[in-house]
Structure 1
Amino acid sequence: MLKIGYKASAEQFSPSDLLRFSEYAESLGFDSVFISDHFQPWRHTDGHAPSALAWLGALGGRTQRIIMGTSVLTPTFRYHPSIVAQTFGTLGQMFPGRVILGVGTGESLNEVPATGMAWPEPKERFARLREALTLIRKLWTEERVSFSGEYYKTENATIYDRPSEPLPIYIAGAGPMITKYAGRTADGFICTSGKGWDLYRETLLPNLASGIEAAGRPSESVDRMIEMKVSFDTDAKRALEDTRHWAALALSPEEKMSVEDPLEMEKLADALPAERAAKRWIVSSDPDEQVERIKPYIELGFRHLVFHAPGPDQMRFLKLFSEQVVPRLRKAFG
Structure 2
Amino acid sequence: MRIGYTLMTEQAGPKALVRYAAAAERAGFDFEVSSDHYSPWLDEQGHAPYAWSVLGAVTQRTDRVELMTYVTCPTVRYNPVVVAQKAATLQLLSDNRFTLGLGSGENLNEHVVGTGWPPANTRHAMLTEAIDIISGLFDGGYFNYSGRHFQVDSAKLWDLPEIRTPIGVAVSGKQSVEKFALTADAMIAVEPDADLVSRWDAQRHDTGSRKVGQLPICWDADRDVAVKRAHDQFRWFGSGWKVNAELPGTAGFAGATQFVTEDDVAGGIPCGPDLEPIVESVRNFADAGFTDLALVQIGGDHQDGFLEFAQSDLLPALRDAFPDGAR
Same fold (TM over 0.5): yes
Deviation at 1:48, TM superposition (A): 1.0
User: Secondary structure, in 3 states, of the residue corresponding to 1:12?
Assistant: coil
Deviation at 1:252, TM superposition (A): 5.5
Deviation at 1:45, TM superposition (A): 4.2
Distance in 2, matches of 1:4 and 1:252, equals: 23
Structure 1 partner of 2:16: 17
Deviation at 1:224, TM superposition (A): 1.1
Structure 2 partner of 1:324: 313
Distance in 1, matches of 2:194 and 2:44, equals: 37
User: Could you say if the C-alpha distance between residues 136 and 253 of structure 1 is closer, same or farther in structure 2, counting changes exceeding 3 Å?
Assistant: closer
Give the % identical residues: 29
TM-score scaled by length of structure 2: 0.92
User: What does the per-residue CA deviation read over 1:110-156, in whole Å, with 9 as the maximum and x for residues that have no partner?
Assistant: 101x2212211111111111110111111111311111111111122
1:251-266 superposed matches below 5 A = 251=239, 258-266=246-254
1:37-116 superposed matches below 5 A = 37-112=36-111, 114-116=112-114
User: Secondary structure, in 3 states, of the residue corresponding to 2:5?
Assistant: strand
Structure 1 partner of 2:204: 212
CA contact (8 A) 1:36 1:71 kept: yes
Deviation at 1:25, TM superposition (A): 0.4
Deviation at 1:11, TM superposition (A): 0.6
User: Secondary structure, in 3 states, of the residue corresponding to 2:218?
Assistant: strand
User: What does the per-residue CA deviation read over 1:4-62, in whole Å, with 9 as the maximum and x for residues that have no partner?
Assistant: 11011111111111111111100111111111111111012451111111111011011
Per mean C-alpha deviation after superposition, the further-off stretch among 321-330 and 50-59 is 321-330
Per mean C-alpha deviation after superposition, the further-off stretch among 45-54 and 10-19 is 45-54
Give the residue type in structure 2 aligned to 1:302: F
Structure 1 partner of 2:215: 228
Q: Please, which of 122, 125, 128 is the counterpart of residue 124 of structure 1? A: 122
CA contact (8 A) 1:250 1:279 kept: no
Tell me if 1:201 matches 2:194: yes
User: Secondary structure, in 3 states, of the residue corresponding to 2:257?
Assistant: helix
Distance in 2, matches of 1:132 and 1:290, equals: 36
Distance in 2, matches of 1:192 and 1:228, equals: 7
CA contact (8 A) 1:192 1:226 kept: yes
Q: Please, which of 145, 151, 154 is the counterpart of residue 152 of structure 2? A: 154
CA contact (8 A) 2:197 2:211 kept: no
Distance in 1, matches of 2:76 and 2:20, equals: 30
User: Secondary structure, in 3 states, of the residue corresponding to 1:283?
Assistant: coil
Deviation at 1:73, TM superposition (A): 0.3
- Mark the runs of 5 or more structure 1 residues left unpaired by the alignment: none
Q: How many residues align?
A: 321
Structure 2 partner of 1:289: 277
Give the residue type in structure 1 aligned to 2:292: H
CA contact (8 A) 2:285 2:293 kept: no
Root mean square deviation of aligned Cα: 1.9
User: What does the per-residue CA deviation read over 1:271-313, in whole Å, with 9 as the maximum and x for residues that have no partner?
Assistant: 4211123343123432133213321221221121100111331
**Structure 1 runs (4+) greater than 4 angstroms displaced:** 252-257
User: Secondary structure, in 3 states, of the residue corresponding to 1:162?
Assistant: coil
TM-score scaled by length of structure 1: 0.90
Per mean C-alpha deviation after superposition, the further-off stretch among 273-282 and 251-260 is 251-260
